[in-house]
Amino acid sequence: MTGSNGNGRARIVITGMGAISPLGNDVASTWAACRAGRSGVGPITQFDASQLPTRFAAEVKGFDPAAVLGVKEARRSSRCIQLALVAAREAVADSGLDVAAIGEDAGVLVASGVGGLEFLERATLNLHQQGVRRVSPFTIPSMIADMPAGMIAIEHGAKGPNFAVVSACASAAHALGEAAEWIRRGDATAVIAGGTEASVCALGVGSFNAMQALSTRNEEPERASRPFDRSRDGFVMGEGAAIVILEEYEAAQRRGAHIYAELSGYGATADASHITAPEPNGDGARRSVLRALDRAHATPADVGYINAHGTSTQLNDAAETRAMKAALGEVAATVPMSSTKSMHGHLLGAAGALEAIISVLAIRDQFVPPTINLEEPDPECDLDYVPNVGRAQRIDLAISTSFGFGGHNACLAFSRLD
């Protein structure tokens, strides 16, 4: 095995992972719940949602930022920054990488779809109700989407490239793919990459309600996220952060790092079609999958698992099914494809990173997590979505798809290493 993938491109591997999610406050507990098919959805506790059409979400549970980060940091930073710091700590510790020691060779690329939305909401209310003197001086640095990356770099001493990408619900997938390109072009030997989101606030939930994008199944929230099911009525908002450590393969080998998998392919495309709706025939998504497989030097027959974007919306699930049929051809019907959003909800700008971690763990354990709440499949959704119970499966290569408002598409391919 060499340091390149056969065409001179450096091989990029994952050596550490961290997560805080609606299913658990670290990677191990998140994956255990995911394997077991447990829902992380419940009534909203972070604000009074009683007047909203949707009164539930997939919240992170039992997280005390003051206890974990200190009172000062908890007071001055937005929740998306706090979650990112926690996930990055786990990922760095898991990798055993001395980030400060490599300094300028360590980059940070952490995405967020909306940044510190709850901090902005609070500042706006204070401004209008109490005047400008009650607006926190930390409002701007807490609300902007690049600050999680900046704070992670400060904490760990990463002095290489550092910024955020924003592509709505494809943000974190793009972050991982672009971070790999940083390493390939020599800008870094390791990158702390992923996504973070914390938009379960009145402004966030209310705005998605105004779009009629959210499920309103308030009587049974744990059954509300039901991708590919005939009775799906919208997605379920989630929150959390997921971070991985990406390294050049030979550098990781030299330091004796544990390698989870190779990030072997990345495809990014645009629908150029509609502001929020996916292209009905899924052509943009199809092209992102084929680009990722091409760069992984793989064929549709090599795919052992698909972690679907699978939002539980009428338009996405049907379009994604069409995209997979078009991309994989006759193989599509035989490849297990699940949407773990059925359990952890939709983490928006962080979704792609959490689902990347789940895909990597599926490869490690040779196990496909289920799509829960899939009781009566939509006739337009007729692939193998692994309904309700996970299964053992040989997986040498997994792909994870992410699509965002604005027509953004991303696909990541992960390969098992012997």
Question: pLDDT tens across 305-338, in order?
Answer: 999 999 999 999 999 999 999 999 999 999 999 9
156 with 281, same domain: the answer is: no
Burial profile 206-228: b = 16 or more Cβ within 10 angstroms, e = fewer: bebbeeebbbebeeebbbbbbbb
Average pLDDT (15-25) is 98
Q: Is 2 a residue whose pLDDT tops 60?
A: no
Q: What is the pLDDT of residue 9?
A: 80
- Contact status, residue 298 vs residue 397, Cβ threshold 8 Å: yes
Q: Is 260 a residue whose pLDDT tops 70?
A: yes
CA separation for the pair 256, 339 (Å, rounded): 34
280 with 309, same domain: the answer is: yes
Condensed to tens digits (0 to 9), the pLDDT of residues 55-110 reads 999 999 999 999 999 999 999 999 999 999 999 999 999 999 999 999 999 999 99
- Point out the domain boundary residue: 194, 229, 254: 254
Q: What percent of the chain has pLDDT over 70?
A: 98
CA 15 to chain centre: 17
Q: Are strands 42-43 and 261-270 parallel, antiparallel or unpaired?
A: unpaired
Task: Name the domain count of the chain.
Answer: 2
Query: Residue 56 belongs to what H/E stretch?
Result: strand 56-57
Average pLDDT over the chain reads: 96
Residue 347 lies in a domain: yes
27 with 172, same domain: the answer is: yes
Residue 163 — φ and ψ, nearest 5°? -170, -175
- Contact status, residue 52 vs residue 40, Cβ threshold 8 Å: no
CA separation for the pair 344, 340 (Å, rounded): 6
CA separation for the pair 314, 312 (Å, rounded): 7
48-208-111-227 Cα dihedral, nearest 10 degrees: 100
Closest CA to 342 of 382, 365, 378, 375: 375
Q: What is the pLDDT of residue 112?
A: 98
Closest CA to 148 of 103, 189, 192: 192
Average pLDDT (274-281) is 93
77 with 111, same domain: the answer is: yes
Q: Tell me which amino acid residue 144 is.
A: I
Residue 5 lies in a domain: no
Can you give the three-state secondary structure of 300-339, one letter per residue?
Answer: HHHCCEEECCCCCCHHHHHHHHHHHHHHHHHHHHHCCEEC
Residue 364 lies in a domain: yes
With a CB cutoff of 8 Å and minimum separation 6, the contacts of 254 are: none
Q: Within a 13 Å sphere around the CA of 132, how many CA atoms are in the beta-carbon half?
A: 0
152 with 239, same domain: the answer is: yes
Closest CA to 260 of 394, 174, 402, 358: 358
**Catalytic residue, candidates 346, 381, 408, 411:** 346
Residue 219 lies in a domain: yes
CATH of the domain at 399: 3.40.47.10
411 with 321, same domain: the answer is: yes
309 is an active site residue? yes
Q: What percent of the chain has pLDDT over 90?
A: 98
* Model confidence band, residue 3 (pLDDT cutoffs 50, 70, 90): low
Q: Is 149 a residue whose pLDDT tops 70?
A: yes
- Any bridge partners for residue 17, and if so which? 244
Residue 261 lies in a domain: no
Condensed to tens digits (0 to 9), the pLDDT of residues 168-180 reads 999 999 999 999 9
74 with 218, same domain: the answer is: yes
Q: Is 31 a residue whose pLDDT tops 80?
A: yes
Please, what's the largest Cα pairwise distance for the chain? 64
CA separation for the pair 191, 182 (Å, rounded): 8
Q: Is 1 a residue whose pLDDT tops 70?
A: no
Residue 6 lies in a domain: no
Q: Are strands 190-197 and 106-111 parallel, antiparallel or unpaired?
A: parallel
Q: What is the pLDDT of residue 4?
A: 54
148 with 225, same domain: the answer is: yes
Query: Residue 156 belongs to what H/E stretch?
Result: helix 147-156
Q: The pTM is what?
A: 0.96
* Model confidence band, residue 126 (pLDDT cutoffs 50, 70, 90): very high
- Contact status, residue 246 vs residue 99, Cβ threshold 8 Å: no
159 with 295, same domain: the answer is: no
- Point out the domain boundary residue: 230, 254, 278: 254
169 is an active site residue? yes
Cα–Cα distances (Å) from 410 to 48, 115, 176, 366, 399, in that order, read 35, 20, 10, 24, 10
Closest CA to 167 of 114, 234, 210: 114
- Point out the domain boundary residue: 199, 219, 254: 254
Residue 297 lies in a domain: yes
227 with 282, same domain: the answer is: no
**Catalytic residue, candidates 34, 80, 156, 169:** 169
106 with 184, same domain: the answer is: yes
290 with 199, same domain: the answer is: no
128 is an active site residue? no
DSSP summary character for residue 216: -
**Catalytic residue, candidates 309, 344, 381, 411:** 309
Q: Is 12 a residue whose pLDDT tops 90?
A: yes
CA separation for the pair 247, 15 (Å, rounded): 7
Structural domain that includes position 285: 266-415
Residue 4 lies in a domain: no
